[in-house]
Amino acid sequence: MTASAAAVASVRDVSKTFGARKALNGVSIEVAAGEMVALIGPSGSGKSTLLRSITGLQNIDSGAGVIEVFGQTVQKNGRITGQVRAARQKLGMIFQQFNLVGRLSLFSNVMLGALGRIPGWQGVLGVWPSADKRQAMEALHRVGVSEYAAQRANTLSGGQQQRGAIARALVQGAQAILADEPVASLDPVSARKVMELLVELNKRDGLGVIVTLHQVDYAIRYCDRVIALKAGQVVYDGPSTALDTKQLIDIYGPEFEDAFWETKT
Ligand SMILES: Nc1ncnc2c1ncn2[C@@H]1O[C@H](COP(=O)(O)OP(=O)(O)OP(=O)(O)O)[C@@H](O)[C@H]1O
């Protein structure tokens, strides 16, 4: 599977205001197909708001701001467009809390990724085409949790659930993964496995990845490019290798310095 050549996301001059607070303030970023980008920044800096705006889950302020996903305009002048559905189909969303249906098996959860392309009644009745079932098992195998296919999602570990969520994105046919703090609820070993899986999907399958992370060392270790937000503005956009202590202090403030470098290997 090779992702399309159009940019995963093109965000131009985007602002988002909640009451008196500007969560995003004139943000412009472009993420090319096949890139793996970490989105970092202090709590409340606008990372989730930016991801939610890209997926059209939330409208941006009216004005000049435009968001395109794989060449389709998702938002313009504060309005979510009719192209959002098609654009969203190409994006696999991964969340901190996994977002699986707890009472359904892992397999059924992964099959939900196919819902967008099969007739509604088949999905409702759980009558899945055999090609989709095969694809779901392949995806579960690919992310390393096929042996848990029949198990209820809410009985699985966080790491297993998160890998299941990634398998669901693969079945959906996503060309890029937008992951909002995907490892924040995981132990370090599971977190590393999920990050390594995202890297593998990026490098081997050419999937674009935009991932918000609290751990700067993960951003540096796993992502080639880092975009940092602070108070709704882009304050760094460049190679992760060029991020130095001074820039991290600029982004997070001096009190964070030790914690961020403590775990770096
Ligand atoms: N629905 C909302 N209503 C009001 N304010 C909001 C809403 N969503 C976000 N905000 C505010 O916008 C700002 C940016 O929030 P956002 O969740 O995007 O930050 P973040 O960088 O993802 O933070 P964290 O790392 O803590 O998840 C914050 O000040 C937040 O309180």
Instruction: Return the pLDDT at 126.
Output: 64
Three-state DSSP class for 127? Answer: coil
Instruction: Return the pLDDT at 4.
Output: 46
Ligand 1 is surrounded, with C-beta below 6 A, by: 18, 21, 23, 41, 43-49
Please give the distance, rounded to the nearest whole angstrom, from the Cα atom of residue 219 to the centre of ligand 1. Answer: 20
Choice among 173-182, 213-222, 248-257 with the minimum mean pLDDT: 248-257
Q: How far apart are CA 83 and CA 80, in angstroms?
A: 8
Q: What residue's CA is closest to ligand 1, atom 25? A: 43
CB 198 within 8 A of CB 209: yes
- For a pocket test of ligand 1, which of 15, 16, 18, 95 has the largest count of ligand atoms closer than 8 A to its C-beta? 18
Give residue 62's identity as a one-letter amino acid code.
Answer: S
**SS3 of the chain: helix, strand, coil, percent, to 5:** 40, 25, 35
CB 250 within 8 A of CB 235: yes
Q: What is the ipTM of this complex?
A: 0.97
pTM confidence score: 0.91
Q: How far apart are CA 222 and CA 106, in angstroms?
A: 27
Please give the distance, rounded to the nearest whole angstrom, from the Cα atom of residue 45 to the centre of ligand 1. Answer: 7
Buried b (16+ CB within 10 A) or exposed e, 210-222: bbbbbbbebbbbb
Q: Which of 91, 90, 130 is nearest to 111 (CA)?
A: 130
Fold annotation for 34-46+85-262: Rossmann fold (3.40.50)
Q: Which of 225, 208, 212 is nearest to 179 (CA)?
A: 212
pLDDT digits (tens, 9 = 90+) for 22-66: 999 999 999 999 999 999 999 999 999 999 999 999 999 999 899
